[in-house]
Chains A and B, each alone.
Chain A
Amino acid sequence: MALDARDRQILELLWEAGDLTSVALAERLGLSQSAVSRRMARLEKAGVLGPREAVLDREKLGLGVTVHLGVKLAARGGTSHVEFERVLAAIPEVQHVQHVLGRYDYRIEVVARDIADFERVLRRRIMALPGLGEVEANVVMWREERPGPLGRA
């Protein structure tokens, strides 16, 4: 779908503050509430505007460690990706999984209370995954998300 300047503003504002109501958006953009609601419905229907997500402070929840894993499946052993992904999905500490092409097969984000807790997750859960080959773990120091190229969409 094609976006106009108003759509981009709506997407940008909702990326910053996903709990803004159509009334608040209408006020900020100088549009009528019905115009904003109509645009939001169109963006939702096209799958462009994602659902509302709560952004939680991991450290304040006692989850002080985030680790990004690069995982390569074993060349032999014949474990399917389906089976690997099924077992992975059942690990509560796993937050995000991407199937990738390149040096690894998967990128996985894991949260833990601290390094000792991460070691437990790594040993008992990750290392026990079927068909696992090589694993590289990188402890995240800093992570930020960006709104993306809305001006060019």
Chain B
Amino acid sequence: MAGMIDETDRRVLRALQRRPDGTTAELAALAGVAPSTFWRRLGRLRRRGVIRGFRRRVNWRALGWGVEVSLRFSLDKTRPGSIDRFLAAAREIPEVVEIATYLGRVDARLHVIARDMAHYKEIYHRRLLSLPHVSEIEALMVVAEVERVRVLPV
């Protein structure tokens, strides 16, 4: 799969990750290619699905949602379809902002946001504790976002 990307593509992707808000002219200069080349490559990378799209995230802290908790769930896998049912139920909880499943000891992790601790407690008791097939829950409270680079080493 890596073979479908050449060095010019990599330069385009690096520029795009470093300054996603830049104009085509700025990004082309950053990538060291002509603007027309940059534009063409960008279109090709999108058509091939290397660039899936663009996203602008909501900063929940700025909206006063001060609590962020990462919860790990061990699931009872003796029942068929338990992971799928767990995931479907987790997607129904609006305060869940990220879902991951794993190979190995931890089965799933949900990232949950809340306005404050009282609100978190309510979500925990009403929604998270009633998720299906859970055998164990462990919580990590997020103190600070240290780095959110999300700049892939391409």
Q: Which residues of A contact B (CB under 8 A)?
A: 1, 3, 11, 14-19, 46-64, 68, 70, 85, 88-89, 92-104, 106-107, 111, 113, 136, 138-153
Contacts and interface: CB of A to CB of B under 8 A. Distances in A.
23 contacts: A18-B56, A49-B56, A52-B54, A53-B20, A54-B53, A56-B50, A56-B154, A61-B1, A61-B5, A61-B50, A70-B140, A95-B149, A95-B150, A98-B145, A101-B140, A102-B139, A138-B104, A139-B102, A142-B99, A143-B98, A146-B99, A148-B94, A153-B65
Interface of B: 1-2, 4-5, 13, 16-17, 20-21, 48-60, 62-63, 65, 70, 91, 94-106, 109, 113, 138-154
A153 B63 contact: yes
A99 B139 contact: no
A146 B140 contact: no
B53 A19 contact: yes
Nearest to A104: B140
Contacts, number: 203
Contacts of A70: 140
B91 A50 contact: no
Given A57-B52, A96-B149, A149-B113, A15 B94 contact: no
A151 B58 CA distance: 13
Contact of B147 (A54, A55, A89, A152): A89
Contact of B54 (A19, A85, A93): A19
Of listed B52, B58, B63, B102, residue having the most chain A CB within 10 A: B58
Nearest to A48: B62
Rank and list the top 6 A-B pairs by shortest CB-CB distance, nearest first. A62-B2, A18-B54, A149-B94, A102-B140, A50-B57, A47-B62
B11 to A, nearest CB: 13
